[in-house]
């Protein structure tokens, strides 16, 4: 068996509104082309509002709004993406199992994950997709061990809910420029210049982001090592 990660572009009513807002992204959940939930995130309130207005025009209903108006949950009675693009139904008809959710971002790119019961590269399956679907990238890796429990164990919100946008920006900047590689090709002073802040300010953002992520992951790391959850905070081991 193998896991397939597919990045595509196509005329989708849900991802198209993101094309003009590269900082915005959407998580998409649907039930076999029936009820659909879109979790919409955007740092620019005006851009987020434009996206929500377009979703409302398509028949979407905002049902939850984030406290800082940087996110919203939108419900649709059916999945327009499945009806128009049919990426999920076509590939499932070829024997692949769709692993939700899908992710929309980067100016309209969509990312899907599927489980394939066979080994080897399944690029021939891409020929089944409609002509208006452009495959940006496909990554295939074997399912070497039973890992679904671990894969679905850590909610992403539990990891990132304490990380601020500026701390996340510092972390992404560090990763993208190879700060965590060995040997390290860039200094924190050079990374700070890319964010137009001082080295001290950059290192503070990065340390806080790292601390929050490691702290959030600790219960799951301990569970994976010993089979027992980590001790509660502020209590002795």
Instruction: Say how far apart CA 107 and CA 96 lie, in whole Å.
Output: 27
When pLDDT is cut at 50, 70 and 90, the band that residue 189 belongs to is: very high
174 closest CA partner among 155, 194, 154, 148: 194
Tokens of 181: 């590689």
Domains and CATH numbers, the chain: 2-144 (no CATH), 153-226 (1.10.10)
172 closest CA partner among 198, 199, 137, 206: 206
Summarised one tens digit per residue, pLDDT across range 79-123 is 887 776 678 888 888 888 888 888 888 777 889 988 888 765 566
Instruction: Say how far apart CA 41 and CA 23 lie, in whole Å.
Output: 9
- Between 233 and 114, residue with greater pLDDT: 114
101 closest CA partner among 210, 14, 188, 220: 14
Using the predicted structure, report yes or no on whether residue 234 has a pLDDT greater than 50: no
Lowest mean pLDDT among 77-81, 163-167, 225-229: 225-229
Amino acid 226: pLDDT: 46
Amino acid 153: pLDDT: 46
Q: What is the DSSP letter of 154?
A: S
Using the predicted structure, report yes or no on whether residue 207 has a pLDDT greater than 90: yes
When pLDDT is averaged across residues 116-135 and rounded to a whole number, the result is 77
Instruction: Say how far apart CA 44 and CA 21 lie, in whole Å.
Output: 9
Placement of tokens 């929500």 in the chain: 52
When pLDDT is averaged across residues 186-192 and rounded to a whole number, the result is 95
- The enclosing H or E element of 172 equals helix 165-176
Amino acid 146: pLDDT: 56
Can you tell me whether residue 134 is helix, strand or coil?
Answer: strand
Pair 188, 202: CB distance under 8 Å: yes
Number of C-alpha atoms within 13 angstroms, CB side, residue 226? 9
Can you tell me whether residue 142 is helix, strand or coil?
Answer: strand
Q: What is the DSSP string of 90-130?
A: HHHHTT-EE-SPEEEETTTEEEEEEEESS-S--GGGGGGS-
Q: What is the DSSP letter of 65?
A: E
Using the predicted structure, report yes or no on whether residue 204 has a pLDDT greater than 90: yes
């Amino acid at each position: 068996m193998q896991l397939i990660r597919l990045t595509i572009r196509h005329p989708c009513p849900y991802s198209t509104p993101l094309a003009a807002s590269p900082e915005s992204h959407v998580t998409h959940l649907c039930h076999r082309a029936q009820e659909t939930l879109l979790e919409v995130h955007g740092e620019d309130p005006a851009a987020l509002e434009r996206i929500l207005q377009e979703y409302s025009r398509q028949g979407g209903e905002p049902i939850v709004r984030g406290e800082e108006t940087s996110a919203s949950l939108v419900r649709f009675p059916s999945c327009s993406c499945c009806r128009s693009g049919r990426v999920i139904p076509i590939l499932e008809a070829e024997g692949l199992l769709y692993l939700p959710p899908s992710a929309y971002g980067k100016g309209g790119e969509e990312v899907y994950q599927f489980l394939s019961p066979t080994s080897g590269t399944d690029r021939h399956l891409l020929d089944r997709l409609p002509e208006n679907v452009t495959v940006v990238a496909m990554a295939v890796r074997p399912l070497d061990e039973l890992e679904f429990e671990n894969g679905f164990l850590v909610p992403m919100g539990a990891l990132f809910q304490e990380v601020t946008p500026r701390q996340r920006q510092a972390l992404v900047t560090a990763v993208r420029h190879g700060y965590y590689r060995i040997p390290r090709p860039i200094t924190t002073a050079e990374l700070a210049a890319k964010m137009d802040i001082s080295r001290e300010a950059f290192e503070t953002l990065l340390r806080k982001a790292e601390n929050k992520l490691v702290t959030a992951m600790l219960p799951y790391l301990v569970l994976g090592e010993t089979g027992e959850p980590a001790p509660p905070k502020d209590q002795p081991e």
